[in-house]
Copies of this chain bind each other. A is one copy, B any other.
């Protein structure tokens, strides 16, 4: 077995590199991903090692990037697109929703659309407007897309490879605040399947569920709660479309309570989807409504306020308390 400790961004880089080595049709596209190696250095050295035809510093036009990636997929390539920051995916939104997501269906299966769109997302980095958002709900609502988000270096390494191997378009949400977080990567054994949710800490009183950067917040909440005698089960949902409900439902059936946490604004979001489906499937087991913790329904605030905006362990614990008191 080969274990290596590396930061999340390096694990992404290693996963991309391996995918490019294993399949010559894999290519990367985006702004500043070549010479610079991406503003987060996720693609560092890949242009140097694979050349300018496989790692493209594109013109600055997101619809053009995704639109030409679609054309490249039609020509048999497997493009992996980097969107520089979450807030800059919207110029490409038409190409993503009306084209990328629908082309396989429109072609009645005669072509597939193996395009990955990588989006560094979320807060905690103290940046200016448009650089700290969590737009996953827009994609999770769109039929034809798959949406996933790794929370650890090992998942980053494997999930990016699985996303690239998928014949469907995958929106790959990278919790950018975790890029520098180190973890062990097992380069020999695949992680859980791309769309599997995973129980990452066992517990009996309440189930905590989230994805991306929220996962470590949930773990932190769980260990604080433990000190107070509350046993939390923690689930990393990993995939937001499709959502792997079984482990969540199983857990809620045994704990009877659940808290969901996300950075995105709450209204009409993934949280509502999960809470209402859990309520439907575990109706008689629930001793309290599923509590949702989220960003407020406001634009992501100036970074000086992000600690008030972003759910932290305290906010999660407040919801745990409400659920337990119900």
Question: Could you list which residues of chain A lie within 8 angstroms of chain B, going by C-beta atoms?
Answer: 87, 90-91, 93-94, 97-98, 101-102, 105-106, 129-130, 137-138, 140-141, 143-144, 240-241, 264-265, 267-277, 279-280, 283, 288-292, 296-299, 326
Contacts and interface: CB of A to CB of B under 8 A. Distances in A.
How many copies altogether? 2
A275 B276 CA distance: 6
A124 to B, nearest CB: 19
B297 A290 contact: no
Given A273-B267, A273-B268, A276-B279, A129 B106 contact: yes
Contact of A290 (B87, B265, B267, B276): B276
A74 to B, nearest CB: 18
B298 A290 contact: no
A1 B130 CA distance: 50
A323 to B, nearest CB: 10
A144 B280 CA distance: 30
Nearest to A93: B93
Given A93-B93, A241-B268, 9 more contacts: A98-B130, A102-B299, A106-B129, A138-B138, A138-B141, A143-B265, A268-B273, A272-B272, A276-B292
B105 A298 contact: yes
Contacts of A297: 143
18 contacts: A90-B94, A98-B130, A106-B129, A106-B299, A138-B138, A140-B267, A141-B141, A141-B265, A143-B265, A143-B297, A268-B269, A271-B276, A272-B274, A275-B279, A276-B279, A279-B279, A280-B291, A283-B288
Contacts of A298: 105, 143-144
Contact of A98 (B87, B268, B272): B87
A275 B277 CA distance: 9
Nearest to A97: B90
A273 B298 CA distance: 16
A297 B276 CA distance: 16
A288 B130 CA distance: 41
A273 B274 CA distance: 10
A94 to B, nearest CB: 4
Contacts of A90: 93-94, 97-98
Given A90-B98, A288-B283, A270 B268 contact: yes
